[in-house]
Structure 1
Amino acid sequence: MRILLVDDDEVLMDTLANHLIHQRYAVDIATGGESAQGYLDMFSYDLVVLDLNLPDGSGIEFCKAFRGNGYEQPILMLSATNTPAHKVKALDAGADDYVVKPFDLDELGARIRALLRREQVGLPTVLQLGGINLDPSTCETNYNGEPVHLTPKEFALLELFLRRPNRVYSLDAIIDDLWAFENPPSEDAVRTHIKGLRQKLSMVGAPKNLIKTVYGLGYRLNVSEVPEPVTPRSTTTVAVEQAWKKYQGVMQERVEVLERAAIAIEQGTLGRELYQTSQMTAHKLVGALGSFGFPMGSTLAQRLEKLLQITPSTDIPAAQFHQLVQQLRHEINETSVEDATETVTAGAPLLLVISPDGKLVEQLSLAATQQSLQVRQANTLIHAQRLLQQIKPQIVICDLLASTQTNESSDQLPDQLLKDISSFTKQFRGPFLLLLPTLPTAVRLQLVQKGASQLLDRTSPPHQLITEALEVMRSTTTAAKIVIVDDDPQILKLLQVSLTPWNFDVTPLTNGKQLWDTLATVNPDALVLDVTMPEMSGFEICQLLRADPRWRNLPIVFLTVHEAETTRGRAFRFGADDFINKSVATSELAVRILNQINRP
């Protein structure tokens, strides 16, 4: 749960914040009423602790303003004044409780819990659903009686899902609920926490998909008591699932090779052929598992690859090698198609929807998912402008009336709204689409002059709005031709799937010797090279291209599992324009390629 503290007493607020954080609340601090309103515009808070005397005004007046602006959750007022008149004013202004300074931290914590309980009437002290038992008071969790040992964030995630089991939580919503504004994690970090929670629940017998991925929207519980949501499946989702199911078998075969090597090492019978095959197998697993978004599996394979580089092979530590192979087998068996799909869809083009209308955003998200888009939400233009410091959307849809409370019948837009639109479009240079009702021609012209790329009918079906948005996005870019050279066909397939939504025309090659004829035929806008290939290394290909007048300016991006600075240095010395690790390829490659193609 998320709490906002509003007081300019830094020492008191830091002390209270630390006390609440230890009780698993996410806490933000505002030093005045105006900044508090900004936080409330950006985030959803379960409770506000508001001081009576603030540097920019009266807490009572700000309490009235918060209520007038639609904040309906509990407000607890703090004051050094202990008079009935002040208490009455505070409660009449909309406060739910009134606490006098100095106060006992434990007592204040109890009052906060009491206020939050009012919002959750009927919820039992111990949360139970589908075999899960979670006790917030003792921080203990079990599944069908079997204890589950969770980290604090994993516990908070599970509690979040259990308190509202019918709700789908986006990554933004999870971050807003469980982390403070000053220290938000990356989306990949949240996915890692969710994966860890899934694995720990699975280890005690829970279904692997107990925490369900709802593509394009987020996560929710998936137990028998909760009806399964009907969600659309994009072509990318289907393609990733097919690739994963096919490649999971290939990975199993590769692990079998390493298992044979482990037995041979223990028996002292590791022959040259199996030794070389095992080296190549481990190397391919490093890149493939990294590309599919399984860093632990990639790390295990990398350790095995390093052990296989020990010479003579009789010096390879047999017990350590065998243990790593067993851990790798377990990791592959525990991975799921949901995890693989999340990794690829995390690299899809990003649509930012500006609207506080949750139903509209959900409908647009479902339609966008079918078109292989990610979706993020901002409630207002100001919130969206702040988000641009963290994310880089490819297209923005703004629900103008809902996000600004503009009067639909007005013949003239407020000056501040026009300034906000102008400020936003100066910061965001991509397609900016506005959802509008019927407005006078002069008003529509004003919006176009302030930077709107397209004016769309707000009453149109969501799928039509997304289709029109995609047409605008694609009309502003030319389909880029990309050649990718990698000797692992599974990685090539995954990269093709992840790049398709970006309007790229991808030519995959498994053999560097095929490149020269392909370059002449395709005339690509960019080239992606692996470093290690059997016939000719990526470095050698890059050297030859930079010595050829026809291709000396072709953008070249290296894609590899090698992270050493010496490898990176060699890549740039031989003429590389960028260098990407395969573990982040599917989420970053498209943007990094576009950066090279569009550079001055």
Structure 2
Amino acid sequence: MRILLVEDDDLLAQAVATALTKQNYVVDIAADGEAGWELISVCNYDLILLDVILPKLDGISLCRQLRQSGHQMLILLLTAKDTKTDKVIGLDAGADDYVVKPFDFQELSARIRALLRRGNTSLPPILEWGSLRLDPSTCEVTYADIVLNLTAKEFSLLDLFLRNNQRIFSRSAIVDQLWSAEKDPPEENTIKSHIKSLRQKLKAAGANYDFIETVYGMGYRLKALSNEQKCQKDQQETDLKQQKTLLAAIAQQRENFKVKVDSRITVLNLAADALRKGTLDVELRQKAEQEAHKLAGSLGSFGFPKGSLLANEIEDVFQNQKYISQAKCFYLDKLLIKLQRELEKAPVEQIQNLLLVISNDRQVVEELIKEAENQELQVKIATNLTTARNIIPSLNPDVVLLDLDIDKDSLKLLRELSQRSATLGGTPSPLPEIPVLVFTERNNFSYRVEVARAGGRAFLQKSMPPSQILESVSQILQQTCITEARVMIVDDDSQTLTFIQQSLEPLGLTLKTLEDSRYFWDNLTEFSPDLLILDVEMPNINGIEICQVVRNDPYWKSLPVLFLVDNLNTDIVEQIFAIGADDCISKTAKNSQLITRVLNLVKRI
């Protein structure tokens, strides 16, 4: 299968091309829309990966131009703009699907496979011809259950013949399909050599030598089946060896990307420095905006999702054509510091969220699985409550979708999952519960109240479209991503600091404690917290004064602040909220109460 990647970010383009080549795709790269159009004019592509924002000719315009010219190849848009309007414009322009940057490489591969299957609906996920079986997702080929060890080109040849099993391919047609435009075309004997080697490997497994037959004067094709009949088997689980090969390639590209990304950070720092000095010209500003845009679209794909968000904020600053205030300059400096600190961390492994669906409604489940192919969700199914209880400890799903109509005890399971706890170091400590969404055919108010009391996070109707159900799942997943939050605690009592640390560390939060409030500002700017916990009464500088300082700063003024107080009397509480506190809690409160208050504030970030 031949793919054209039209992407102006050369680092991302090379990484994507490498990952796809490992899966035996032939990949050409174009760095702008006009170059992409020229390649499409001379080469036949099965699919085009098309970035939306491109130099010379943007992706949407190129997509329209292709459809207006009668080109029918599949088009998958790569867009950094995750809004419904942008998606609608892309699909209306003729795109078949879209992936939002930064994307997961494995999800991108799955979406490509799904699109290619959709493009030829007559083809099953597993390609078969008699006793020959080729699995595109694992790159495994067997004949009569004997595994064939094929080279990348041999695999691509066989894949080409199986997808077009009635077609005769000339040598020139094979070159057009399987050799990149960037490489010189092979000699005639090279094609013959690949065909000969493929025939020999098939014969060694028990096939006839002319399984791939020569049609003299025309080319090659699969020999028509006689006694052998096509058979369709269920798709097997992904082959671990092939998956490891792909992950290794992604890891290598991630390291290459991290080395080269310094040049982009340098451009951003130069632009920020010029902005402070009032010497930022249009050219450098546009260059900084472009580099920030590329980082926003690629960092998440290489294991730095928070870096993508920071780069997106940096891009917004440079996009603003109006006067940029000193406060904005300070904000930009902080963003760059955060971004550089983020890139010093180990990359986050790209793991799809796991959704456990507990339902025996076969039609609904099948529709959800089909829709989940288009989203970053891995789906597991439990058809009864007993199975669900048995597999949840080992699966540890990120979210559960529970069919309330499956059993009279469904609400009991909902309560169990919402109140889950574990024992850490011999002491029971609450863990974040598994969020549970329920779906049902019932729709009365009293039942909704029961679900809310049991801890349900959403009440959905079975009649809803699968896309809407999974959109609710995604929203819940976004709300539960709290483990990267950074919390700074300022209190002159070491025992209080120890108590808070022991309460919050099991949640996976990053903590910073400070006893001497005189060093608050340096620690604040260095640690960059997402939440600030302050004691009211402290020597030298008290918590109320610190909160006022924070609220007076243009960058930190929105930082959530939780106060610790010895006595919750009316005067203290009114004073705290008057100077901008978000919440307060007694120092004598239980650790479960503290955790609840902290999580509520963190979820608002």
TM-score range, shorter chain: 0.3 to 0.5
| TM-score, with length taken from structure 2 | 0.36
| TM-score, with length taken from structure 1 | 0.36
